[in-house]
Structure 1
Amino acid sequence: MANGEAGVKTSPRILSYGWGKMEIEGLGRGKDFKLWPGGGRPWDWSEYGTGHRAGVQPGDIEELIDSGCTTIILTTGRMRRLRVPREIVDQLEDRNIKAIVADTRKGISTYNEYVARGERVGGLFHSTC
C-alpha cells in the first residue's frame, strides 16, 4: 500500500470488478472484500452471519471503524439485494463516520474517487447480486 502525506496509509484501489470477482491493489483477486486505509481482506459473510436478508452485521464494520476510516462505503450488490440495516448507518454516524450506501458499481466508483483524493475511506464490497 502506498502511504499518503505524513505517513498516513492510503486505502487500496479497486483495479477491476465483474460478476463474482474483484481485483484489489496489493491484495489480488477475490469475490467480496473489506477494505480500509492500509489494507483489506476477503469479506467472509459467515464470520458474523451476514446474508442478503439479514444484511450487513455490526461485526462486519468493526475492522473498518478500528482502522480509522472517516468514510465507509457499504455496497448492496450489483442488483441491490444485500440489505444495509439503518442501525448500521446510525452506528457509523454516531461515531462521526460518513456512511455511503450504494449499489456495487456506484460504490466502487465513489470509493476509488475517495482513494484518489487521499481520504481515509473503507468499505464492504459485494460483487454479485
Structure 2
Amino acid sequence: MTSPEISKIAWGSMKVAGQAYKDCKVWPGGSRTWDWRETGTDHHPGVQPADVDEVLKKGVKTLVIGRGMSEALQVPTSTLDYIRSQGIDVLVFQTEKAVQEYNSLAAQGAKVGGVFHSTC
C-alpha cells in the first residue's frame, strides 16, 4: 500500500485522495480528519502520543508532523520520544514544508504517515 499524495494545502484546507480536510492524518492506504477534540489537543501543550498512535500502528517507518502555517502547534519532546521509542523516524516542519517532505517520501514509495494542522 502506498501513502496518498496531499494534492492541495492552503490556509484551513487540505486535499488528500479527493477528500477535503482542515486538519488530517494520513498513512499508507488512507487518510481521515484529525479531530483534536478526540484527545483534548490544543496548540499548547500540542501534539500528544494519542494524536499520532493511530498512524504509527499503520506500519509507517517515518511520521511527518505539520505544526501549522505559523507553527503555532507545539510538539513536546515527550511525544517525539514516544514516536522514536516505536522505532519510527519523525520529522517536524511548518505545514507547507511538512506536506512537501511527506509527498516527496510518499512518491519514493516510503512507508510514511503524517499529522497536519492547516491553520495557525
TM-score category (smaller protein): over 0.9
Q: Which residue of 2 aligns with 1:22?
A: 14
SS in 1 for 2:114: strand
Conserved 8 A contact 2:49-2:83: no
SS in 1 for 2:25: strand
Q: Indicate whether 1:69 and 2:60 are aligned.
A: yes
Q: Indicate whether 1:110 and 2:119 are aligned.
A: no
Runs of 4+ in structure 1 over 3 Å off: none
- Paired positions, count: 120
Amino acid at match of 1:15: S
The structure that has the greater radius of gyration is 1
Cα RMSD of the aligned pairs, angstroms, is 0.8
Aligned-pair identity in percent equals 43
Q: 85-94 or 112-121, which moves further after superposition?
A: 85-94
1:16, CA displacement in angstroms? 0.6
SS in 1 for 2:72: coil
- The TM-score with structure 2 as length reference comes to 0.97
1:17, CA displacement in angstroms? 1.1
Larger RCO (CA within 8 A; separation ≥ 6) = 2
Q: Distance in 1 between matches of 2:21 and 2:65?
A: 17
Q: Which residue of 2 aligns with 1:51?
A: 42
Amino acid at match of 1:12: P
- Stretches of structure 1 lacking an aligned partner (at least 5 in a row): 1-8
Give runs of aligned pairs for residues 1-16 of structure 1, distance below 5 A: 9-16=1-8
Amino acid at match of 1:22: M
SS in 2 for 1:96: coil
